[in-house]
Amino acid sequence: MPKKPSSRSHHSGVTTAASRSGGHQSSATGTRTAALLDPVKAYGQNFLKNPAIIDAIVAKSRIKPTDKVLEIGPGTGNLTVKLLPQCSALTAVEYDPRMVREVTKRVEGTESHHKLTVVQGDALKTAFPYFDVCVANVPYQISSGLVFKLLSHRPLFRSAVMLFQEEFALRLSARPGENLYCRLSVNTQLLARVDQLMKVGRNNFRPPPKVESRVVRLSPRVPAVKVDFREWDGMVRLLFNRKNKTIRSVLDSKATYKLLGGNMRTHKAMKGAGAAMDVEGGGGEGAGGDNEEEEVKQIVRNVCEMELYKDRRVTKLDIDDLLGLLAEFNKRGVHFC
């Protein structure tokens, strides 16, 4: 995380608008185009300044009066003040202590002040409370980490409405065969449905970012797909490294056979551990190492000869193809972690 900006009064931990006292009066509605807080570039501080866009994001969040909302990166609170009247409670996680102070002050004295809890911290490292809906306009450098933190959050929430850089947003929903289809697309679509909601031009922000943005809705799949995510990610990493090749030509390499042969030995050793097997050299280069590599090679070739996978390019595989492929490998003892 970048160095914190200096701040005369430093907030840390949790603060609520209701818990603060003081005579600061500020507008609880509309945007603060004249806010005096200098945006810090390293924190990705591009504040939404167009009230029509803010209203559209709030409407697309489809918040019910009983909902608990999680807002990430509230900044000066332009979204926060419009989300609060819609929900039963809102927790905002903000890294910059100046913004924590600003959003808290801005909500003080409003009808919704008792609903707000502001947590000062890095959203990637802060434990999230229970929430139904997440709304976030976050710095682009934490987009990917945040998407996967949210999608592994339990219990599952209903939806997350988030602003991202245009290309990142399009990658999230890219379909097989499209240029932007990548590891991010399959990992996200494994866990959630992705809807593109609207484009947001650069000039709707203060200061304007370098690129256009988009608002996306992520709705976690219910029930969640049953898959060992480490296995899945191990396979997807290997495959999407060279996504324009066929499955076989990506996997058919000495280095891959060595890696997968090692995994196979480890798994065999773990299986036998109950029978007091010495697992110490299980993942290493012990005797018989070549056997596993040869075994893996044969399995890879056999699976790649199956009708569904023969001559298929990685970039054309959808989630079901990939899940099926992983299952075929796993049931033959080939593991990706």
Contacts of 104 (CB under 8 A, 6+ apart): 11, 15, 16, 17, 20, 116, 118
Residue number, nearest CB to ligand SAM:
73
User: Residues 113-148, buried b or exposed e (16+ Cβ, 10 A)?
Assistant: bebbbbbbeebeebebeebbbbbbbbbbebbbebbb
124 interacts with ligand SAM by CB under 6 A: yes
Nearest distance in Å: CB 120, ligand SAM: 9
**Which residue's CB is nearer to ligand SAM, number 122 or number 285?**
122
CB 47 within 8 A of CB 74: no
Contacts of 134 (CB under 8 A, 6+ apart): 69, 70, 71, 72, 150, 157, 159, 160, 161, 162
* Dihedral of the alpha carbons of 19, 24, 30, 33, in degrees to the nearest 10: -120
Count of residues touching ligand SAM (by CB under 6 A): 24
204 interacts with ligand SAM by CB under 6 A: no
Residue of 28, 69, 89, 99 that binds ligand SAM (CB under 6 A): 99
* Residue 106: φ, ψ to 5°: -65, -30
Binding to ligand SAM, residues 138-197 (CB under 6 A): 138-139, 142
- With contacts defined by CB under 6 A, name the span among 120-128, 173-181, 218-226, 294-302 that binds ligand SAM: 120-128
187 has binding-site annotation: no
**Which residue's CB is nearer to ligand SAM, number 123 or number 326?**
123
Binding to ligand SAM, residues 48-77 (CB under 6 A): 48, 72-75
Stated as kind and residue range, the H or E segment containing 13 is: strand 13-16
Nearest distance in Å: CB 177, ligand SAM: 32
Residue of 95, 164, 168, 240 that binds ligand SAM (CB under 6 A): 95
Residues that bind ligand SAM (CB under 6 A): 43-48, 72-75, 78-79, 93-96, 99, 122-124, 137-139, 142
